[in-house]
Structure 1
Amino acid sequence: MATPHTGDRLLMTSALISERFAKQLTDLPAEILEHVLCFPVLNPRDICNVSCTCKRLRDVCHGRGKVWAHQYKLRFYRQNESYDWLNEFRTRQMVGHQIRGTVESISKRFFTEVVLGDSFAEIESLGAPEHFCEDELLGILNSDKRKNLTLKYYAKKILYFFRQQNILRSLKVFLERPPEQQSALEGAVLVDQYCNPLSDVSLQSISAQLEEISDKAKKHLRGINPAHPILYEQLHFKGNERDYYNPLNSYIHQVLLRRTGIPISLSVLYMTLARKLGVPLEPVNFPNHFLLRWCQNQRRSADIYDYLYIDAFGNGKQLAVKECEALIRHQASADYYSAISTGELLLRMVGNLLNIGMRGEGNEKSYQLLRDSLDLYLSINPDNVQYLLLQARLYFHLGIWPEKVLDILQHIQALDQSQHGAVGYLVQHTLEHIQHKRLHPQELEEKRQSAPEHQDVIFSIGLIMKHKRSGYNCVIYGWDPKCSMSQEWIDTMRVLQLSKGADQPFYNVLVEDGTCRYAAQGESIHLSIQHYY
């Protein structure tokens, strides 16, 4: 049996061993300590605790050192090499908490809205660098696939908005360059990026693919049409006659991927390749069928018959003037054969997307395409009265941004007094909409479980529930007999994978973390008060 003296000796021995071990640890070279502290299982809290133990370890964990650089690179997507890593980590953590709080508040306030309007101003007002915000949103999107689907839905919408704003700024810079410095390919990529902001589309990747095709073409030079045998005979590019009005035909990355497109998108690729091979082709805004032209003389000529015309949609066929007219089955004036600027080419490309959006079935995708193409068109040509009026009508129809609708209408009135009738009508109804929204901020629909349409509703308002799949606890404050959300929401939340899909009651629930969700009846179980507490 151990005596008190024995216990004291054991404590003293333990203290001596600990002291000796501590000395051995702190006596290690800084490089070894950094290597140990970069072990993957250690998190930022662990590093903070270690740095508080002694001056030696605090010096090893200094803000600009390898340890915090390692933590930073594990946590965030984008890195530079000149940061004070610790301060940068703190700033990003703070921004991350603010963004997550904002996304959660958006889900609480706007979860029933298909279009969120300008509710993202809160994140813009944080004053943090844009890539901080984008990385935090990506962090939400790339978290556990089965959890936080509601947050991911709104993070995706915010990321969509952010990237589009950045692309619009890039487009503005692009259009301010001198015409000779405006590349048709770069402009087409910006259009592609704006309409697909969540896709991995970059000028560098597109250029690399065309460079590879160009290298192949150099081995098969054939007269004045060097890109022809490579694009059409070997790579099997072709015009998409069967699905001509598919918007994918206008996106450069999709044209390269699917190897099919419409005249203008194929012409951009063809012209870019030809210029890489030393053949100066020019874009021609021919009606109903975009073309390219090449001057057979050394100098540029005003005579349309001095040019050879190329139909990129028709497998690179070389055409004379009469053959061009045969494409549209009527005679065309000389103006239609003249070369156009890159800005005019982009207007034609975006105009095609606009027409596709207007031909749509009035669903979410067609509305989104119409909004995106209108934004692009008016960024290039901001004083086009026809499209300004269309944008105002679209926003009014969707019930979003009434204040912006009034600004657009005021701009139209200043540009064209003859639009007074259409403008006055929209102004009157927009003001009525704003007034109604102020007087009736939210009109609640009265529902009774006894009603025949609600006979499948099992749970009542006020019941405490648990979500089977996500595991959160919540309380019911409303219901719908069937899922009333948009198709985009249904797809994002994988509703169709449920046993009854969207054809079952859905409940508005307040979750314990303060967010609001929309849960299917088949995914919820009732918790008794005793069970919950």
Structure 2
Amino acid sequence: MDKDSKKIWSITDLPDELIAMVLHKSKYNDIIAFGITCKRFSDVVFNNQHLWKTKCLEVLPHPIIKTIIKYSNGNWFNQLKEFIDLKNNIITELLALSPKFYWRMNQLTIEDSLKFFTIATKDELSYYYTVHVLQKVIENAIKNLNQNICEKPHTLTEQHYAKVVLRYLMHTYLGIKWARLQTAQTFNGPPIYPELVLNFCVQWIDPAHYYSDERIADVLNEVVENVKDVIHHCKKSPQVEKKKITGREILSAVSQVLYGQKHIAITSAANLDTLNIVKVLSKKCGHAVALAAIYHAVARKCGVNVNLIAFPNHLFLEWVDDLSPNKLYTISLDTGELKPKRQCPFSQVNEHTSYSYCSRSFLKYIYSNYLVTMGAIRNWNVQNCLHLLNFLGASDSYQNPYKNLFAYLIETPEISAPDRPLNILYLEPFYREIILSLTSLNAGCISESVNPREGNLKSKKHNKNVLYAVGMICYHKKYQYTCIIRDWDLNGDHLEIPVDNVSRYQPFYSVTAADHSERYVAQENLINLPHPSRLYHLEDQISKDFCHFDGFAYVLNYEKRIQYPDEALIIEMYRNNSFTRA
């Protein structure tokens, strides 16, 4: 090496360009820490908007990047800082919910979530940011729980509260969206097309994921292009005369693409996979509801008017022949085949009676089929679906969190103004004000029924008669079902059992059974399972009380441990096979 060449002894000797290249590979918090070490590095870090744009692309939710580019002033560092501050505020508020509301018997209310709504309505981007942060909490909690890892805020408890708050945030926004569409339709606006209704319902049921109407439109347009290719190929055939293509030929091409090329099959199960248009087209399997919406949309975009008719227990596609208006056909959702429509012999409908597409009837048909498919399952998604009935006015109970919400929105005519676009990625002040007003719409109604349960939550000490612990998975000997122990009492003195019945004088356990039912079981009917499995499908019901499943039992959260301080020792004895009935 040349003796006169300059040696580089520290990072301060590196050129700014090389330092910037290194920073591109670093985490944003490390970059900030590096930038505050001296003035030179501060200039290198905080004036490099290209660096911060790169970090924004890594950290910020991807759907919102185009919106930021459109509306921001180009200060990417501020964009990232605002998102990180918002995220930290949300996590702080989320961690405070269990200590504050665990002691309550009833569900968390919209009013209880006001701090989250305040954060979410700070500016145009905050609402989607808040939704995204809560979605990531749920997503990361699922990953941690699958590995038996317990790290706040990614535990069952935080997942429970994140789901409740996320439900209120998304349902409030979707409520405005539905009222806006309904109001516009009432004033001779465009109908709410089936694919929009279906996507609305799926988004309502599953707020943990973002279902974009634009994404639905894109995948449907791809199918339309496939149909156009089929039509173009047929027109190039020498056997086909050059004439205007008919509606029948277009429908034939639609059926050929959906059932011939894509081989989409019908399933009777209406779940989040078979109702999601994007997944149906990619996995080639869907419920009749999704196939009907897809067929209707593709035909409409190709210029053919197909009528989608939904009754409480029946759904079909109807088409009037454009060359013979007196000929009415139904389209088989199994094969795409055109079939002459037949008159039901028991129907009172005459030739002058006609049906038309109704978005509300179609929505009812969707959630009815979903609930039928779910059966006895009562997870978070099913509860969300039931809340859709509450939103539409099916329940006037004071416990309905959406009581009067739809009526209030419908009476706000400005909500459908075309110059006020509704977009969750960039929520304008008008809609943010409405959302805040909705949080207090039923103020006092629900809170009157919400009472703390602190009086019933005295610390319970195990005695020699109580064999099992809260969080253990047991088996009912008589009725043969698996269950999770939630609470226990030393005896059944409070039960309406004959005094001379020996079963009164033994511990009783509150359990959540595998069929989602809540039961009260005598100890003599339970046995412990030596090698229990995690009961995934029950975790939405029990998550308020537990942190995670550790491979043997569900671990109590801090609040539950205050009530039951001895459970961990009992569980450990069972785990080590050292506990015997004396």
TM, length-normalised to structure 1: 0.64
CA contact (8 A) 1:281 1:293 kept: yes
Alignment-derived partner of residue 152 in structure 1? 159
Letter in 2 for 1:374: L
Alignment-derived partner of residue 124 in structure 1? 117
Letter in 2 for 1:124: F
- Structure 2: which 5+ residue stretches go unaligned? 1-5, 232-247, 409-442, 472-486, 490-508, 517-537, 574-582
Alignment-derived partner of residue 5 in structure 1? none
Q: Deviations over 1:325-348 (max 9, x none)?
A: 26xx535334653333xxx23433
CA contact (8 A) 1:284 1:336 kept: no
Query: Out of 489, 509, 523, which is 2:540 matched to?
Result: 489
In structure 2, the CA distance between the partners of 1:524 and 1:293, relative to structure 1 (3 Å rule), is same
Matched, 1:101 2:92: yes
Letter in 1 for 2:540: W
Matched, 1:259 2:269: no
Using the TM superposition, give the Cα deviation of residue 123 of structure 1 relative to its aligned residue in structure 2, in angstroms. Answer: 0.8
Alignment-derived partner of residue 463 in structure 2? 450
Query: Out of 154, 170, 174, which is 1:167 matched to?
Result: 174
Letter in 2 for 1:489: D
In structure 2, the CA distance between the partners of 1:315 and 1:458, relative to structure 1 (3 Å rule), is closer
Matches within 5 A, 1:42-57: 43-54=28-39, 56-57=40-41
In structure 2, the CA distance between the partners of 1:105 and 1:410, relative to structure 1 (3 Å rule), is same
Using the TM superposition, give the Cα deviation of residue 229 of structure 1 relative to its aligned residue in structure 2, in angstroms. Answer: 2.9
Q: Look at both structures and tell me which one has the larger radius of gyration over its CA atoms.
A: 1
What percentage of residue pairs aligned between the two structures are identical? 16
What secondary structure does 1:179 align onto?
coil
CA contact (8 A) 1:392 1:408 kept: no
Using the TM superposition, give the Cα deviation of residue 365 of structure 1 relative to its aligned residue in structure 2, in angstroms. Answer: 5.7
CA-based RMSD of the aligned residues comes to 4.7
CA contact (8 A) 1:167 1:194 kept: yes
Using the TM superposition, give the Cα deviation of residue 100 of structure 1 relative to its aligned residue in structure 2, in angstroms. Answer: 1.1
- Structure 1: which 5+ residue stretches go unaligned? 1-15, 379-387, 412-429, 460-477, 526-533
Query: Out of 302, 308, 315, which is 2:328 matched to?
Result: 308
In structure 2, the CA distance between the partners of 1:234 and 1:101, relative to structure 1 (3 Å rule), is same
Question: Number of paired residues?
Answer: 429
Using the TM superposition, give the Cα deviation of residue 409 of structure 1 relative to its aligned residue in structure 2, in angstroms. Answer: 13
Question: For the residues of structure 2 that align with 1:188 and 1:458, how far apart are their CA atoms?
Answer: 41
Using the TM superposition, give the Cα deviation of residue 218 of structure 1 relative to its aligned residue in structure 2, in angstroms. Answer: 3.7
Alignment-derived partner of residue 257 in structure 2? 230
CA contact (8 A) 2:266 2:287 kept: yes
Alignment-derived partner of residue 31 in structure 1? 17
Alignment-derived partner of residue 468 in structure 1? none
Letter in 2 for 1:350: K
Question: For the residues of structure 1 that align with 2:284 and 2:557, how far apart are their CA atoms?
Answer: 42
Letter in 2 for 1:231: L
CA contact (8 A) 1:238 1:313 kept: no
CA contact (8 A) 2:31 2:45 kept: no
In structure 2, the CA distance between the partners of 1:517 and 1:83, relative to structure 1 (3 Å rule), is farther
Letter in 2 for 1:154: Y
In structure 2, the CA distance between the partners of 1:311 and 1:48, relative to structure 1 (3 Å rule), is same
Question: For the residues of structure 2 that align with 1:497 and 1:319, how far apart are their CA atoms?
Answer: 57
Letter in 1 for 2:462: Q
Question: For the residues of structure 2 that align with 1:279 and 1:219, how far apart are their CA atoms?
Answer: 17
Using the TM superposition, give the Cα deviation of residue 441 of structure 1 relative to its aligned residue in structure 2, in angstroms. Answer: 5.7
Using the TM superposition, give the Cα deviation of residue 67 of structure 1 relative to its aligned residue in structure 2, in angstroms. Answer: 3.7
Letter in 1 for 2:46: H
CA contact (8 A) 2:307 2:317 kept: yes
CA contact (8 A) 2:379 2:541 kept: no
Alignment-derived partner of residue 314 in structure 2? 289
Alignment-derived partner of residue 381 in structure 1? none
Matched, 1:332 2:349: yes
In structure 2, the CA distance between the partners of 1:307 and 1:375, relative to structure 1 (3 Å rule), is farther
Using the TM superposition, give the Cα deviation of residue 103 of structure 1 relative to its aligned residue in structure 2, in angstroms. Answer: 0.5
Using the TM superposition, give the Cα deviation of residue 432 of structure 1 relative to its aligned residue in structure 2, in angstroms. Answer: 11
Q: Deviations over 1:14-50 (max 9, x none)?
A: xx989x867743xx3x43332233332x552553444
CA contact (8 A) 1:275 1:281 kept: yes
TM, length-normalised to structure 2: 0.60
Q: Deviations over 1:507-530 (max 9, x none)?
A: 452599x9x9998667779xxxxx
Using the TM superposition, give the Cα deviation of residue 253 of structure 1 relative to its aligned residue in structure 2, in angstroms. Answer: 4.4
